């Protein structure tokens, strides 16, 4: 939240708390959306006329699934990049300085980079099934 | 300055447990409640274990008649329900209730009375479960209670005991979750930033957040089931437009995270013990990220319990992918532990032995877990003994072994006495060997055709030998726990004194005496690293806020129970939180609920009503701000020093965070209900069912419009409150109350006018349930708004402190009611025109 | 035997990639032999596939076991090394540790799991419901299986006959609670849900009898809700269809149906102690089965004791729907949903008191003198379809 400085000698770098939390949880939220929407589209699409729509060789369901994947992937990638940026900003040149190590926000940004990367990977893997069901459920 | 002895005596006076027999019922201290949780849970564990042994005797030989089919079905239902709901979750909760505050360097949990309430509801829920034995109608539809087998048509009153007992236990799980989340975020020692938190606290934070979603979903599901059983609704009746798969979706949306709710704290224990024995923990950040990934992805696996129900293969494949990916998080943790132990020559004492046993068993269970995530493979082994083997590997291996390790590790802190290492080793080897003998053969039984939940099996399957081995193994495994109990008894009587830190542990619980004093810490310990007991890093500069806060609270406060509040990310001191002392109210509210539930069982609905009103009355008294306490706090000297206010507001306050948790719970419930609506709608051939017209729009638009008006009114009231305009506040509040009441009246009128009842079809059931849910929310909201109005009117205190906080909390809740109203209107009235 | 099998399991021989479709030829014979069972004859084993679907899944299992087994062994070895070796990591332990964790715990699993997912998806798609083939409707009841061949007008119970070498479409539904259809040697499971029909399929590559069992807990006698699937060569299958299509009890309108035969007549019958029951009824005997007064008496007793209220026998006025169809009960391999073999002794015990065999089953005991029960059983045993000799 609006964290106050821990290491007092350092100049306090402002990071908006929304940015900070998004950097940690953005990937996770994107993944959640990806799974729920993918499931919803499949559950709904596979019993509706949507599955029979054929557009450039792909069913309506497949198109929607691809759209969902691209959108959520974009969110996950954005969160990873933001986490990376926050981490660089907070650490600055003094990567090893003790005050940086004591700042919980550095830890959050660091986790954000790792979590974001993992969730990007998971979303990509989770999109693999779409390739097997391009024309039908 | 007082001396240490005087200060600790003063603190003890205010923190000690109430004396006498009746005092026992009013205890709110976390350590006492933690022990109660653990002892009760362990008792249920032993009972559940005995049930399992009886089942193993029955299954020793083909076509055995030791147990009747009826009894066998009852036993496996109770075994599963006991182990999942009455043992695993409460046991780990108990551990957290006891140790979380100590590890975090606080004096108690954030909401002490809520912990007591959680314990009583848990105990009563468990007793309701087992009361079914005295009625002779034991739950027998499995711990998963698939409809329609669990519907009133196919099972007796036992399932009512199950559903109602479970509801109480779920309630306990939910309040414990709120407790844990807020404690971890707000009650950390100054300087314990998120990056320095013990891993155990990380896992409990994740588990707390997960429980808010998972247990609430289950609570909604059991509510729907119980309504089907007693009120004649049709949610799960396919003949009246309901859906059986809806139950499975809701149940497993809880059921899969549940596994990780049990497993994650266990990994926290593992990280703690591995860290202590290897004198380091490598990959701290990786582990926390793994916890985060597990917490989220565990919600995306629910359908992998439903591979054989005929869902679209595309949907199944998403869940298969997610199920495989969660293995990455577990893999990272396993390798972090191996890396930490690498070359550190740890001494193989009982706590570590159990952890190593965990590693072996859990990795094997994890591999079978990966296998059954593969859709076609699961088609074969689903609902066979292969699955029985798998989940006992992950649950016993993944939770019971770490838990035993944890008990060997922490019992010296709780009792102040060491356990006997020889008996510990004996217990471990009996458990390890017995476990494999019992469950390894089950993989093969599954392949050779033994389904789950069968009370007997034919000789022709050719699995007698394996079943004999499994039964022998089960008794050896059970014996391990008798050894442990004997060890505990011996230790209590003649055990060696433990001292502060027998294992050279790194977390804060090892910095205080064993057993800890009632107030736990004389002053909030200032934390400067991940291992506060290992590296006493140099103090910061004199101006360090953490140091100053710790000084202010040294031996303070003495007139009331107080604890330091810190900021959620960096743990900088923010204020001092007043904590309530002993109280009977938690017990009374739980008793009211228990009586209300028992009355539902016996269909004495009038008694239910009276008991519910009683419980609500006590709850209102509990929640009503105590004027004397506020006056005392306002006059306290403590709050004037060092910028540490006592009556904090907004995100500094624990109450504000508790409210956020409550909103999460309510939003989850609303989401579950909405999901139920659209799920049933999706598979209905016509909507609304039985050829009804879609609901009219104009009347409901006016009804729900009044809610929007009330929201605007509250916005106005808040502005007037900030501006200090007394008359405008009252006027705005009156507008909120009147429009809220108008909504209630119109909504009830709308229900009365409906041309169908909740019994006619699933559509009717959903329509009534959604309308009643929003009405009850409004009623609760009105009570809050009304009380806020009265308080603002009657108390001419300044508009800071507790009154401002009450305004904030009331506003959060009422705005939520308005949003929920919009959602309900969209679902019930708009969606039939669109979808 | 058992002990050695467990030992063998924990010390896996070095596996090689599985290339064969046929289980018998899986290269690492040790584990294969162990899991295929010591007895060789496993009636309900998913590792003894007899059809393409089960075979694909069995092959999947061997691949999974190989890869994940190796990974598990590697983790065990690393754990042992971690505990018993001195620290080979130097001052850079933290960085080396992180690399170790990421490679072993994240990257390596990812490299293993992604191909597994692809393999899983390929198998899933390959096992997609075929479009052609005979259709059989399976209705789950507590606790038996109603089997219907809608195209052929055949109704039977707890036994399915299929032609070898062609896929068979199954329409699965339930009359009460959720059941699950599972014949492991042919395919995995599919649930039978009340109020909806699920499509499933099985195919047998060789002739034989394959046991199956309900796999979703369905109440009291879930353990005794089994069935048999017999795969017949196409000609034999056609003959079976033809035999089943004849009305089970030919002289439907004969006087026998309503005639009352005195108990004494049955008791006096010289057939009372004969071996008729256990002998296979030859063609000639079937033709004049009603010549036997014992059978005729049994038929009359069948109706008198209300059996027809729940059971149907094609060609008679027995049209009850609550219990299994008995049209050719005499030819069925098992009784009580594959609970016991269909022998005369078992059938006698079953008719007299099914509760003793399958407690809680919906069929009540038959309160009748022993001779009448003997007669009913004789009648039931006479209900055999004509096997046409090719």
pLDDT value of residue C111 = 95
Q: Which of B456, B479, B494 is the last residue of a domain?
A: B494
Chain C hits for A121, CB-CB cut-off 8 Å, are 110
Model confidence pLDDT, tens digit, residues B116-145 = 999 999 999 999 999 999 988 999 999 999
Report the C-alpha gap between C195 and C177 in whole angstroms.
10
Angle at C225 between CA C223 and CA C226, to 5 degrees: 110
Facing B376 at nearest CB: one of C57, C113, C180: C57
Q: Work out the percent of chain B whose per-residue pLDDT is above 90.
A: 81
pLDDT value of residue A91 = 81
At residue B627 the predicted structure's pLDDT band, cuts being 50, 70 and 90, is: confident
pLDDT value of residue B722 = 87
Report the C-alpha gap between B367 and B355 in whole angstroms.
18
At residue B539 the predicted structure's pLDDT band, cuts being 50, 70 and 90, is: low
Assess C213–B contact: CB distance below 8 Å, yes or no. Answer: yes
pLDDT value of residue C250 = 53
Neighbouring chains to B with at least 3 Cβ pairs closer than 8 Å: A, C
DSSP H helical ranges for chain A: 17-45, 60-91, 98-101, 104-132
Q: Which of B457, B475, B494 is the last residue of a domain?
A: B494
Chain C hits for A125, CB-CB cut-off 8 Å, are 113-114, 117
Chain B hits for C2, CB-CB cut-off 8 Å, are 441, 465-466, 469
DSSP B16: S
Using the beta-carbon criterion (under 8 Å), do B296 and A28 form an inter-chain contact?
yes
Using the beta-carbon criterion (under 8 Å), do C97 and B452 form an inter-chain contact?
no
* B283 phi/psi in degrees, rounded to 5: 70, 35
Using the beta-carbon criterion (under 8 Å), do A111 and B292 form an inter-chain contact?
yes
Model confidence pLDDT, tens digit, residues A17-68 = 889 999 999 999 999 999 999 999 888 888 777 777 777 878 888 889 999 9
Of C9 and C234, the structure prediction assigns the larger pLDDT to C234
Facing B379 at nearest CB: one of C86, C188, C199: C188
**Beta-ladder partners of C198:** C172
Å between A129 CA and nearest CA of chain C = 7
Contact B33, B122 (CB under 8 A): no
Report the C-alpha gap between B559 and B636 in whole angstroms.
9
B500 falls within a domain = no
Report the C-alpha gap between B37 and B175 in whole angstroms.
14
At residue A5 the predicted structure's pLDDT band, cuts being 50, 70 and 90, is: very low
Report the C-alpha gap between B289 and A118 in whole angstroms.
9
DSSP H helical ranges for B231-312: 244-278, 284-297
pLDDT score of C9 more than 60: no
* Region B29-40 average pLDDT: 96
Of B334 and C254, the structure prediction assigns the larger pLDDT to B334
B58 falls within a domain = yes
Q: b/e for B629-642, b at 16 or more Cβ within 10 A?
A: ebeebeebebbeee
pLDDT value of residue B829 = 94
Facing C118 at nearest CB: one of A121, A128, A133: A128
Nearest-by-CA chain A residue for C125? A132
For chains A and B, CB pairs below 8 A equal: 125
Number of domains in chain B: 2
Q: Work out the percent of chain C whose per-residue pLDDT is above 70.
A: 76
Assess C94–B contact: CB distance below 8 Å, yes or no. Answer: yes
- Among candidate residues C216, A132, A36, the one with its CA nearest the CA of residue B313: A132
Report the C-alpha gap between C303 and C261 in whole angstroms.
12
Sequence-distant (≥ 6) Cβ neighbours of residue C249 within 8 angstroms: C299, C313, C314, C315, C316, C327, C383
Facing A137 at nearest CB: one of B312, B324, B570: B312
DSSP H helical ranges for C221-262: 234-245
Å between B511 CA and nearest CA of chain C = 26
pLDDT score of C42 more than 90: no
Chain C hits for B341, CB-CB cut-off 8 Å, are 79, 82-83
Chain A positions touching chain B (beta carbons under 8 Å): 1, 3-4, 6, 8, 20, 24, 28, 31-32, 35, 38-39, 42-44, 46-47, 61, 65, 101-108, 110-111, 114-115, 118-119, 121-122, 125-126, 128-130, 132-133, 137
B623 falls within a domain = no
Neighbouring chains to C with at least 3 Cβ pairs closer than 8 Å: A, B
pLDDT score of C269 more than 80: no
Give the DSSP H/E element, type plus range, for residue B815.
Answer: helix B801-825
Give the DSSP H/E element, type plus range, for residue B333.
Answer: helix B313-341
B510 falls within a domain = no
Å between B63 CA and nearest CA of chain A = 42
Using the beta-carbon criterion (under 8 Å), do C184 and B449 form an inter-chain contact?
yes
Contact B314, A61 (CB under 8 A): yes
- Among candidate residues B317, B245, B328, the one with its CA nearest the CA of residue B294: B328
pLDDT value of residue C384 = 86
Chain B hits for C190, CB-CB cut-off 8 Å, are 308, 310, 379
> How many Cβ atoms are within 10 Å of C193's Cβ, its own excluded?
25
Report the C-alpha gap between B706 and C272 in whole angstroms.
86
Chain C hits for A133, CB-CB cut-off 8 Å, are 125
Using the beta-carbon criterion (under 8 Å), do A46 and B194 form an inter-chain contact?
no
User: What are the boundaries of each domain within chain A?
Assistant: 17-132
Å between C128 CA and nearest CA of chain A = 10
- Among candidate residues B573, B784, B744, B568, the one with its CA nearest the CA of residue B663: B784
Nearest-by-CA chain A residue for C107? A118
pLDDT value of residue C281 = 43
B592 falls within a domain = no
Q: Work out the percent of chain B whose per-residue pLDDT is above 70.
A: 98
Report the C-alpha gap between C94 and B276 in whole angstroms.
16
Sort strands C226-232 and C334-335 into parallel, antiparallel or unpaired.
unpaired
Structure-derived torsion over alpha carbons of residues C26, C29, C30, C33, reported in degrees to the nearest 10: 80
Phi-psi region of B75 (alpha: psi -120 to 50; beta: other; left: phi over 0): alpha
- Among candidate residues B699, B698, B730, the one with its CA nearest the CA of residue B713: B730
- Among candidate residues B326, B214, B352, B198, the one with its CA nearest the CA of residue B274: B352
Using the beta-carbon criterion (under 8 Å), do C118 and A125 form an inter-chain contact?
no
**Residue from B144, B156, B449 to probe the interface with C (highest C Cβ count within 10 Å):** B449
Facing C121 at nearest CB: one of A118, A121, A129: A129
Of C29 and B328, the structure prediction assigns the larger pLDDT to B328
pLDDT score of C260 more than 50: no
Report the C-alpha gap between B650 and B657 in whole angstroms.
8
Model confidence pLDDT, tens digit, residues A77-131 = 999 999 999 988 888 755 545 555 567 888 899 999 999 999 999 999 999 999 9
ipTM above 0.90, yes or no: yes
Sequence-distant (≥ 6) Cβ neighbours of residue B373 within 8 angstroms: B304, B320, B323, B324
Query: CATH no. for residue B828?
Result: 1.20.120.80
Highest average pLDDT, of B499-503, B544-548, C87-91, C315-319, comes from B499-503
- Provide the CA B141 distance to its chain's centre, in angstroms: 24
Using the beta-carbon criterion (under 8 Å), do A118 and C117 form an inter-chain contact?
no
- Among candidate residues B263, B299, B298, the one with its CA nearest the CA of residue B671: B299
Contact C59, C127 (CB under 8 A): no
Domains and CATH numbers, chain C: 2-126 (no CATH), 134-245 (2.60.40.420), 255-382 (2.60.40.420)
3-state class (DSSP) for residue C387:
coil
Chain A hits for B544, CB-CB cut-off 8 Å, are 8
Report the C-alpha gap between B494 and B486 in whole angstroms.
12
How many residues make up chain A in this entry? 137
Chain B hits for C226, CB-CB cut-off 8 Å, are 458
Unique residue bearing structure tokens 């993918």: A38
- Provide the CA B466 distance to its chain's centre, in angstroms: 37
Using the beta-carbon criterion (under 8 Å), do B569 and A129 form an inter-chain contact?
no
* Region B602-617 average pLDDT: 93
* B536 phi/psi in degrees, rounded to 5: -85, 90
**Residue from B151, B394, B451, B453 to probe the interface with C (highest C Cβ count within 10 Å):** B451
Q: Which of B494, B515, B542 is the last residue of a domain?
A: B494
Chain A hits for C117, CB-CB cut-off 8 Å, are 125, 128
pLDDT score of C10 more than 70: no
Of B517 and C265, the structure prediction assigns the larger pLDDT to B517
- Burial (Cβ within 10 Å: 0-12, 13-18, ≥19) of residue B703: buried
Contact B309, B442 (CB under 8 A): no
pLDDT score of C253 more than 60: no
Contact C348, C311 (CB under 8 A): no
Contact B229, B280 (CB under 8 A): no
pLDDT score of C248 more than 80: no
**Residue from C9, C71, C191, C336 to probe the interface with B (highest B Cβ count within 10 Å):** C191
Put simply, the chain C residues between 293 and 332 with a CB less than 8 A from any chain B CB are: none
Report the C-alpha gap between B747 and B749 in whole angstroms.
5
pLDDT score of B487 more than 60: yes
pLDDT value of residue B556 = 84
Angle at B46 between CA B42 and CA B49, to 5 degrees: 130
Put simply, the chain C residues between 138 and 197 with a CB less than 8 A from any chain B CB are: 176-178, 180, 182, 184, 187-191, 193-196
DSSP A3: P
The whole domain housing B763 covers: 668-834
DSSP H helical ranges for B543-653: 545-552, 585-601, 605-623, 627-635
**Residue from B303, B332, B570 to probe the interface with A (highest A Cβ count within 10 Å):** B570
Nearest-by-CA chain B residue for C46? B447
Average pLDDT of chain B to the nearest whole number = 93
B578 falls within a domain = no
Report the C-alpha gap between B85 and B170 in whole angstroms.
8
pLDDT value of residue C199 = 93
Structure tokens at B171: 């309630």
Model confidence pLDDT, tens digit, residues B423-468 = 999 999 999 999 999 999 999 999 999 999 999 999 999 899 999 9
Å between A14 CA and nearest CA of chain B = 14
**Residue from A87, A99, A118 to probe the interface with B (highest B Cβ count within 10 Å):** A118
Chain B hits for C218, CB-CB cut-off 8 Å, are 149
pLDDT value of residue A11 = 56
pLDDT value of residue C53 = 95
Using the beta-carbon criterion (under 8 Å), do B282 and C106 form an inter-chain contact?
no
Nearest-by-CA chain A residue for C122? A132
pLDDT score of B524 more than 70: yes
């Amino acid at each position: 939240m609006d964290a106050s400085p821990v290491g007092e000698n350092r100049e306090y770098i402002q990071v908006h708390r929304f940015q900070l939390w998004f950097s940690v949880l953005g990937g996770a939220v994107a993944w959640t959306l990806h799974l729920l929407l993918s499931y919803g589209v499949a559950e709904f699409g596979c019993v509706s006329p949507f599955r029979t729509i054929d557009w450039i060789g792909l069913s309506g369901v497949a198109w929607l699934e691809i759209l969902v994947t691209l959108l959520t992937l974009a969110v996950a990638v954005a969160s990873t990049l933001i986490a990376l940026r926050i981490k660089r900003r907070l650490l600055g040149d003094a990567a090893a300085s003790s005050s940086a190590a004591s700042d919980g926000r550095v830890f959050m940004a660091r986790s954000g980079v790792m979590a974001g990367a993992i969730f990007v990977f998971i979303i990509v893997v989770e999109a693999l099934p779409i390739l097997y069901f391009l024309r039908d459920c | 300055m007082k001396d240490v002895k005087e200060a600790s005596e003063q603190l003890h006076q205010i923190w000690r447990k109430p004396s006498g027999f009746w005092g026992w019922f009013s205890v709110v201290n976390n350590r006492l409640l933690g022990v109660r949780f653990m002892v009760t849970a362990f008792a249920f564990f032993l009972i559940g274990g005995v049930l399992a042994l009886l089942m193993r005797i029955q299954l020793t030989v083909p076509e055995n008649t030791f147990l009747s089919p009826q009894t066998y079905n009852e036993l496996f239902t109770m075994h599963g329900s006991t182990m999942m709901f009455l043992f695993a979750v409460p046991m780990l909760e108990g551990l957290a209730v006891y140790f979380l505050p100590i590890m975090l360097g606080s004096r108690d949990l954030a909401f002490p009375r809520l912990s007591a309430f959680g314990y009583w509801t848990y105990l009563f829920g468990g007793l309701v479960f087992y009361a079914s034995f005295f009625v002779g109608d034991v739950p027998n539809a499995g711990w998963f209670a698939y409809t329609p087998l669990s519907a009133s048509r196919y099972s007796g009153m036992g399932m009512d005991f199950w559903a109602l007992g479970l509801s109480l236990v779920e309630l306990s799980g939910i309040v414990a979750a709120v407790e844990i989340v807020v404690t971890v975020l707000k009650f950390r020692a100054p300087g314990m930033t998120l990056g320095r938190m013990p891993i155990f606290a990380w896992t409990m934070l994740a588990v707390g957040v997960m429980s808010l979603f998972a247990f609430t979903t289950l609570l909604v599901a059991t509510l729907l089931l119980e309504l089907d059983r007693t009120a004649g609704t049709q949610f799960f009746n396919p003949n009246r437009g309901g859906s059986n798969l809806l139950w499975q979706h809701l149940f497993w949306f809880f059921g899969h995270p549940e596994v990780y709710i049990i497993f994650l704290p266990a990994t926290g224990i593992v990280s703690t013990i591995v860290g202590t024995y290897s004198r380091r923990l490598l990959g701290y950040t990786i582990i926390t990220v793994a916890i985060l990934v597990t917490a989220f992805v565990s919600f995306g696996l629910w359908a992998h319990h439903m591979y054989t129900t005929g869902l679209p293969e595309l949907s199944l494949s998403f869940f298969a992918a997610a199920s495989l990916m969660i293995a990455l998080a577990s893999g990272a943790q396993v390798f972090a532990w191996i890396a930490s132990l690498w070359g550190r020559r740890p001494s193989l004492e009982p706590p570590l032995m159990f952890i190593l046993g965990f590693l072996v068993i859990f990795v094997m269970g994890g591999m079978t877990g990966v296998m059954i995530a593969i859709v076609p493979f699961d088609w074969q082994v689903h609902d066979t003994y292969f699955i029985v083997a798998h989940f006992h590997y992950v649950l016993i291996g993944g939770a019971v072994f770490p838990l035993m390790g944890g008990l060997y590790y922490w019992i010296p802190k709780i009792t102040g006495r060491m356990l006997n290492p020889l008996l510990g080793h004996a217990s471990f080897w009996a458990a390890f060997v017995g476990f494999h003998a019992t469950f390894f053969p089950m993989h093969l039984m599954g392949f050779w055709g033994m389904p789950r939940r069968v009370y007997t099996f034919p000789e022709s399957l050719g699995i007698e030998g394996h079943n004999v081995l499994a039964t022998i193994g089960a008794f050896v495994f059970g014996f391990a726990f008798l050894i442990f109990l004997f060890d505990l008894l011996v230790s209590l009587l003649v055990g060696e004194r433990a001292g502060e830190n027998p294992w050279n542990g790194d977390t804060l619980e090892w910095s205080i005496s064993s057993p800890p004093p009632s107030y736990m810490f004389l002053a909030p310990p200032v934390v400067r690293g991940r291992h506060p007991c290992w590296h006493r890093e140099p103090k910061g500069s004199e101006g360090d806020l953490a140091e100053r806060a710790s000084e202010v609270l040294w031996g303070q406060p003495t007139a009331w129970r107080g604890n330091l509040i810190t900021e959620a990310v960096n743990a900088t001191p923010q204020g001092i939180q007043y904590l309530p002392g002993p109280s009977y109210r938690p017990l009374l509210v739980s008793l009211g609920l228990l009586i209300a539930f028992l009355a539902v069982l016996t269909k004495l609905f009038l008694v239910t009503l009276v008991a519910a009103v009683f419980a609500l009355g006590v709850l209102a008294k509990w929640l009503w701000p105590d004027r004397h306490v506020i006056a005392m706090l306002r006059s306290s000297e403590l709050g004037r020093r060092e910028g540490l206010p006592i009556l904090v507001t907004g995100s500094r306050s624990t109450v504000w965070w508790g409210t956020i948790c409550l909103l999460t719970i309510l939003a989850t419930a609303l989401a579950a209900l909405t999901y139920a609506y659209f799920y049933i709608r999706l598979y209905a051939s016509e909507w609304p069912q039985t050829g009804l017209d879609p609901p009219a729009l104009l009347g409901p638009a006016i009804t729900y419009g009044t809610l929007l008006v009330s929201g605007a009114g509250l916005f106005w009231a808040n502005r007037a409150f900030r501006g200090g305009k007394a008359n405008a506040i009252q006027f705005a509040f009156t507008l909120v109350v009147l429009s809220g009441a108008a909504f209630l009246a119109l909504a009830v009128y709308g229900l009365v006018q409906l041309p169908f009842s909740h019994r006619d079809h699933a559509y009717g059931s959903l329509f009534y349930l959604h309308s009643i849910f929003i009405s009850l929310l409004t009623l609760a909201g009105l009570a809050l708004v009304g009380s806020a109005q009265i308080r603002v009117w009657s108390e001419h205190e300044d508009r800071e402190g507790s009154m401002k906080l009450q305004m904030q909390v009331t506003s959060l809740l009422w705005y939520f009611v308005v949003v929920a109203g919009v959602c309900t209107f969209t679902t019930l009235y708009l969606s039939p025109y669109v979808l | 035997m058992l002990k050695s099998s467990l030992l063998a399991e924990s010390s896996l021989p070095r596996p090689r990639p599985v290339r064969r479709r046929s289980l018998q030829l899986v290269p690492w014979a040790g584990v294969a032999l162990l899991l295929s069972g010591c007895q060789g004859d496993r009636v309900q084993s998913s590792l003894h596939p007899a059809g393409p679907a089960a075979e694909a899944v069995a092959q999947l299992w061997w691949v999974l076991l190989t890869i994940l087994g190796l990974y598990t062994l590697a983790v065990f070895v690393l754990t042992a090394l971690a505990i018993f070796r001195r620290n080979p990591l130097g001052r850079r332990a933290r960085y080396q540790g992180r690399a170790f964790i990421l490679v072993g715990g994240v990257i390596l699993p990812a490299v293993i799991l992604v191909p597994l997912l692809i393999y899983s998806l390929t198998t899933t798609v390959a096992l997609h419901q075929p479009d052609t083939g005979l259709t059989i409707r399976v209705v789950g009841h507590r606790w038996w299986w109603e089997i219907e061949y809608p195209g052929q007008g055949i109704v039977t119970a707890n036994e399915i006959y299929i032609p070898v070498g062609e896929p068979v479409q199954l329409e699965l539904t339930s009359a009460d609670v959720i059941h699950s259809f599972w014949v492991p040697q042919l395919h995995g499971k599919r649930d039978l849900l009340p109020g909806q029909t699920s499509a499933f399929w099985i195919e047998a590559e060789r002739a034989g009898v394959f046991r199956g069992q309900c796999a979703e807990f369905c109440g009291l006698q879930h353990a005794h809700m089994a069935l048999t699937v017999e795969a017949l060569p196409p000609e034999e299958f056609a003959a079976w269809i033809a035999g089943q299509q004849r009305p089970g009890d030919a002289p439907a309108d004969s006087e026998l149906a309503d005639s009352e035969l005195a108990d004494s007549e049955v008791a006096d019958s010289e057939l009372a102690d004969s071996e008729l029951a256990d002998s296979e009824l030859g063609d000639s005997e079937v033709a004049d089965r009603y010549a036997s007064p014992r059978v005729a008496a049994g038929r009359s007793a069948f109706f008198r004791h209300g059996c027809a209220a729940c059971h149907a026998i094609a060609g008679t006025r027995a049209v009850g729907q609550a219990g299994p169809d008995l049209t050719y009960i005499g030819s069925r391999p098992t009784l009580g949903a594959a609970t016991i073999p269909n022998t005369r002794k078992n059938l006698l015990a079953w008719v007299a008191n099914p509760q003793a065999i399958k407690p809680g089953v919906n069929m009540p005991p038959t309160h009748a003198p022993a001779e009448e029960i003997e007669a009913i059983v004789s009648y039931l045993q006479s209900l055999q379809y004509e096997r046409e000799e090719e």
